[in-house]
């Protein structure tokens, strides 16, 4: 079974598709049956073979039964891809929200942990602003309720601490507060980019009108 597909176009104008893959590799177990896979369609129309990019398993990880699911993808100013996703592992060795970077065309880096507490976490959302900073949002299970958290990874690689955005604890499954807050913050992040695009469009239109006027003369 495949769920949660996402598409992003990279700097080569290749189409990159990501999805959560549910396997039967470990039947009868709780963990080790979900992963995130990707496939790429190049500009000439050819597809590569799909492959797994999460969960990332470092050599010192005590268990190989991990699940990764429900990704959120963005592209930074250097055209590197960032994939944030939920992760849960057998015996709760490692759980929360991870992010993995693809440098260039195919150089996948080790995962980094976004959520600092070793708790179940869901609904990751990642956005890049017009200065290259990466903004992360997620719901984290704290004090028996899911609460909205936020972190920034600056363009120089420095992380902020976690910031709790929800004003009070919300019952599990109540996403309205999450949706409203994240929508507002994402709108603020996107606003400078929208303004910049409009300014560029106006400049292009002025240049075009000037060229048309010159040709008419």
Alpha helix segments (H runs only) across 12-96: none
Nearest residue to 74 (alpha-carbon basis) of 112, 5, 20, 125:
125
Q: What is the CA radius of gyration of the chain?
A: 20
Where residue 190 falls among pLDDT bands split at 50, 70, 90?
low
Question: What integer pLDDT is reported at residue 26 of this predicted model?
Answer: 59
pLDDT category of residue 216 using cuts at 50, 70 and 90: low
pLDDT at residue 87 in the model: 93
Residue 184 reports pLDDT greater than 70: no
Interval 112-123: pLDDT, tens: 999 998 888 999
Q: Per-residue pLDDT tens for 73-111?
A: 999 999 999 999 999 887 667 889 999 999 988 899 999
Domain ranges of the chain: 2-216
Please give the model's pTM, rounded to 2 decimal places. 0.76
pLDDT attached to residue 82: 97
- Per the model's pLDDT, the better-predicted residue between 10 and 169 turns out to be 10
Is the pLDDT at 12 greater than 50, yes or no?
yes
pLDDT the model gives residue 172: 46
Contacts of 66 (CB under 8 A, 6+ apart): 31, 32, 55, 57, 87, 88, 89, 90, 94
């Amino acid at each position: 079974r495949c769920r949660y597909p996402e598409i992003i176009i990279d700097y080569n104008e290749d189409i990159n598709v990501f999805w959560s893959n549910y396997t039967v590799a470990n039947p009868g177990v709780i963990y080790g049956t979900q992963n995130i896979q990707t496939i790429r369609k190049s500009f000439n129309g050819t597809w590569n073979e799909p492959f797994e990019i999460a969960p990332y398993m470092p050599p010192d990880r005590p268990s190989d039964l991990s699940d990764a699911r429900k990704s959120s993808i963005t592209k930074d100013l250097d055209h590197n891809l960032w994939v944030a996703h939920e992760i849960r592992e057998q015996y709760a060795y490692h759980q929360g929200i991870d992010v993995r970077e693809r440098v260039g065309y195919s150089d996948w880096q080790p995962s980094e942990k976004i959520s600092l507490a070793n708790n179940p976490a869901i609904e990751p959302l990642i956005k890049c602003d017009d200065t290259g900073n990466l903004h992360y949002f997620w719901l984290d299970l704290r004090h028996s309720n899911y609460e909205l958290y936020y972190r920034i990874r600056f363009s120089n690689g420095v992380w902020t601490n976690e910031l709790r955005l929800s004003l009070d604890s919300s019952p599990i499954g109540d996403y309205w507060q999450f949706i409203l807050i994240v929508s507002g913050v994402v709108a603020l992040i996107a606003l400078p980019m929208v303004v910049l695009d409009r300014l560029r469009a106006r400049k292009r239109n002025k240049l075009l009108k000037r060229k048309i006027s010159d040709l008419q003369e």
